Amino acid sequence: MEKASEGKKMTEQEKELLYKTNEELGEEELKRISGLVALVKRGAELLCLLPEAREELEKDPDAFLGRYGLAGIDPDDLKLMFYPERGEELKKKLTSPDFMDLISEAVYRYEQFVGNKLYLRNQMREVECVPLNKQMRIWRNRQIERCKGALGGVNESFIHDVMNFELSRGCSVGCEFCGVGAEKLQKVFFHTEENAVLFREVLKAAREILGDAAGRGTLYLASEALDNPDYELFEADFYEEFGVIPQITTAVPLRKPERTHALLKELYSKKGFIHRFSLRSLKEARAVLAEFTPEELLKVELIPQYEEAPAFVPFTVSGHELEKRLMDGEEIPEQAGSICCVDGFVVNMAEKSIRMITPCYADAEYPDGVAGPEKVFFENADEFREKLLFFIENYMVNEIPGDVPLEFYDYFECRQIQGKRALVSKHGQYTVFLDKMKEKGMQETIALLCQGKYNKREIVTQVMGQTGERPEKIFWFLNQLWKLGVIRDPVLFPQKNEIGE
């Protein structure tokens, strides 16, 4: 078995620490490990954000470490973890029975840190964001299934939280990559005595209906959180109700650096989630790295939105950018999709509105990558509660509607894959194999759904006539396809002729 160099080998003491819990490690040791991970993460940020960083690391590793304050980190560890061409090597070492002799403590602790973030994301989706209300819970599960076909692999990164709040109407920044079509800043919800009372009452009402899941969203959506000068006061109210610091994504971390420093300090002193900084230029990236220490940014994801960044990924084209391209006569680009991970509600406190939303593939009809009925307005907490329940009861429909033609979503194609019949999504190749459905009446039901002409009872009647199968079995099968999210939901996605067009 290949052995790592002496510089990358764990000491016996470091090996022993791997088996200790946080409580057993103690505060001093946890601080040391946290600082180690922060330095590795800073190395990753340099290589991901700065176009010259890799060349500098290759040319003079020691000078690189010294320039960026990474003393104590092995330069080969950075190459092993963050050079794409060494990905397979890293994977083999991490999964080897002798991994402790093949990687350093720095590599192990950073991989552990990333694994914990992914675990938390999955816990958010599968546990923390599950609403108390049963009708909404069933509806949300179906939307998660639907998004596998509608959005492809990006759906794996969505937590599908159920409630977000906006503390202003619109956004002052105007990022070209904004995927939710944020308007220009029009109104701010200040923390006056009256507004504070309303906000707290709305939070309580939301929690009564949705449970703790109502507090796993954010205090922004199609808005910039830091546009509100009283954000911290609302955050304190939110923490008082739910016991967590809400996640922030901001495009202006340097607008008032002292404010951002304070927000990060609070994030580390209380229970909270990962924050994100959207970096709009290489100049801004350099400034953020200079302004904030590695330790401050340990729970912050830096997202490069400029092409010079080695880790730049073309952003999802939706919102204003998609509308602009369509107006210019362009076709819908490959990067279209959705950046919205909400299956539930967005509450705008500035205009006192509620909108029910769910992610979808961005197109001319849904340019923001969001679907849902029109927003409604409220004046007080009682109205808020009443209208929230109205949305749940009337729009989160969990039974297949009986009076409209049923069909598969139009992004599915019926194909033969290695001789097997399957539904394959155009968005990410999500596949539902239909040949597995071999019980009597199933293939006939599928054929009628492919035609898209018949409602639920008409399908059942025809399949009964063709196969002699009992009606309850056919209804059951339709319900299974409905739960899989492959049958178009006419409440959320009405056909044009269903809405008078």
DSSP string, 204-273: HHHHHHHGGGGGSSBS-SSS-GGGSTTHHHHHHHHHHHHSSBPB-EES-TTSSHHHHHHHHHHHHHSSB-
Contacts of 435 (CB under 8 A, 6+ apart): 420, 421, 422
**Nearest CA to 245 among 206, 219, 209?**
219
Average pLDDT over residues 161-168: 98
Return the structure tokens found at 211.
């449970």
- DSSP, collapsed to helix, strand or coil, labels residue 2 as coil
Most confident range (mean pLDDT) of 8-12, 66-70, 177-181 is: 66-70
What's the mean pLDDT when you consider all of the chain? 92
Residue pLDDT, tens place only, 18-31: 999 999 999 999 99
Distance CA(152)–CA(290), nearest Å, equals 37
Which phi and psi (to 5°) does residue 441 adopt?
Answer: 95, -15
- pLDDT at residue number 39: 97
The separation between CA 448 and the C-alpha centre of its own chain, rounded to angstroms, equals 35
- pLDDT at residue number 5: 42
Structural domain spans, the chain: 6-119, 132-395, 412-498
Decide if pLDDT at 433 tops 90.
Answer: no
Average pLDDT over residues 121-131: 96
- Lowest average pLDDT, out of 69-78, 248-257, 325-334, goes to 325-334
- pLDDT at residue number 496: 59
Residue pLDDT, tens place only, 178-209: 888 889 999 999 999 999 999 999 999 999 99
Decide if pLDDT at 176 tops 90.
Answer: no
- DSSP, collapsed to helix, strand or coil, labels residue 355 as strand
Burial (0-12, 13-18, 19+ Cβ within 10 Å), 368:
buried
- Total-model pTM: 0.91
Residue pLDDT, tens place only, 266-315: 999 999 989 999 999 999 999 999 999 999 999 999 999 999 999 998 87
Distance CA(354)–CA(202), nearest Å, equals 11
CB atoms within 10 A of CB 53: 19
Residue pLDDT, tens place only, 347-381: 999 999 999 999 999 888 898 999 999 999 999 99
- pLDDT at residue number 181: 82
- pLDDT at residue number 4: 39
Percentage of residues in the chain having pLDDT higher than 90: 78
- pLDDT at residue number 8: 67
Q: Which CATH architecture has domain 132-395?
A: Alpha-Beta Barrel (3.20)
Q: Which of the 8 DSSP states describes residue 171?
A: B
